[in-house]
Structure 1
């Protein structure tokens, strides 16, 4: 059975290693940067508007829903009916559902499949993929997604993947905020951050932040996890906006969103999210 022809749009820090893994796995692949639409290191040389017409699967790895929508406004008319569009970006769930409905009118299928695991996970193919869509479409995608991630989580209908990703990052950000504050309070009392983090990792305060970010990216001052602070703030805002749309309470989430939004406005797009260790306050 021949492998599906893939178009891949978006070659940022995450998109490039993901596209590379698909190419190395033997998938016929044409890759394009988002703007302008130009092939970069692709197996097939073509302009986007020409090259996209023959793909079976179109994968998008872009900054937000607005960019995804803009790209598909240009590319969707050139896709063949039955083409499976896969948005692996961190997009807004309600906009995702509306976009999927519009594409369906053109005979196009849609799955949202955002990822967690950072640049290292993208390079290693160890991402967690949160997929929302028709079960048949998800079954069709599973071998392809298996090249990119170790855990393929089918979380519900279209839009559910993006909702799950935003909620996951909300929890991650909240955990980072309180962990950093605990480290700073400990330091103010005379407990070295390294010691306080060891306490967290040996006790009930253990988290992904304490295990995988404090020593690796914060205490050494590298701040090089590969995920931007402003992107984390965007995902948090998506989560609290979802709470608003569902008329659900989000008291703690609102405070987390306020903190991250405020700090995100003070940094550059290249600032890593682990730099919250310094930006919340100096623990020394």
Structure 2
């Protein structure tokens, strides 16, 4: 398949590499020369704009930090307008579930949108085992599936456009609450005179083990690395929930990260 790509960050680069390794043709928007070195070396065509990357492709993948960057790339910079009919734009970014209504208003006739939130880190992408929560038309997902399968081992169709993001935001609320509790384990261990690293090891071989706890096996720095993403996602989830933001899970996550 012919794939265009916007977003060569920590996750976008390994996704692009997996797409190339799976035999698809890829052209990617490279903002800075150093940004796309690995992808170009693997065979991607470098483009000077998102619109150029979107021309004459079957699938356009977007993996940016937030909705502001998506609006800039797809609407203001013209990538969405450059898409041909029967192509699919798949958006990986976690954000406002209502974004797709705004994007739909700017999409040319025949261009289909796909909400493909995901769970997994860089290592999981490189191993081809992230989980995807997809929202949108079944036909659009079927068209994008060969590309998604380059780096995802689980692809779950959870509903309409925006529902992938809703599922991901709920996942991230739970993860944020768990990360807060895991951080407190290290703090309390130190308060009691225990070795925090050994305490984490003990928990990870016991009933309190969790993915959040595992992130602290390398030390407390795990929290600082992930904090900007959790701050963004918890705030977005609270905004999306609206009057339902008083739910215990939301309060627990917002109390730690809000």
User: Normalization by structure 2: what TM-score?
Assistant: 0.86
- Runs of 4+ off more than 4 Å: none
On the 8 A contact 2:83/2:108 being kept in 1, the answer is no
Aligned partner of 1:43 in structure 2 is: 44
Q: How does 1:71-86 map to 2 (within 5 A)?
A: 71-73=73-75, 74-86=78-90
Q: How does 1:177-192 map to 2 (within 5 A)?
A: 177-192=180-195
Per the TM alignment, residue 248 of structure 1 is displaced from its structure 2 partner at its CA by 5.0
Per the TM alignment, residue 71 of structure 1 is displaced from its structure 2 partner at its CA by 0.9
On the 8 A contact 1:64/1:92 being kept in 2, the answer is no
The answer to whether 1:146 aligns with 2:149 is yes
Alignment partner for residue 19 of structure 1, among 16, 21, 44?
A: 16
Per the TM alignment, residue 159 of structure 1 is displaced from its structure 2 partner at its CA by 0.7
Report the secondary structure of 2:86's partner residue.
coil
- 1:165-191 CA-to-partner distances (Å, cap 9, x unmatched) read 222122111101111112322331233
Alignment partner for residue 242 of structure 1, among 240, 243, 246?
A: 240
Report the secondary structure of 2:55's partner residue.
helix
User: Normalization by structure 1: what TM-score?
Assistant: 0.78
The answer to whether 1:109 aligns with 2:112 is yes
On the 8 A contact 1:117/1:127 being kept in 2, the answer is yes
- Aligned pairs, how many? 250
CA RMSD of aligned residues (A): 2.6
On the 8 A contact 1:34/1:62 being kept in 2, the answer is no
Alignment partner for residue 95 of structure 1, among 99, 116, 131?
A: 99
Per the TM alignment, residue 205 of structure 1 is displaced from its structure 2 partner at its CA by 2.1
The answer to whether 1:168 aligns with 2:165 is no
Report the secondary structure of 1:93's partner residue.
coil
- After superposition, the Cα gap between the structure-2 partners of 1:94 and 1:199, relative to the gap in structure 1 and judged at 3 Å, is same
CA distance in 1, matches of 2:202, 2:125: 30
Unaligned residue ranges in structure 2 (runs of 5+): none
- After superposition, the Cα gap between the structure-2 partners of 1:46 and 1:182, relative to the gap in structure 1 and judged at 3 Å, is closer
On the 8 A contact 1:132/1:155 being kept in 2, the answer is yes
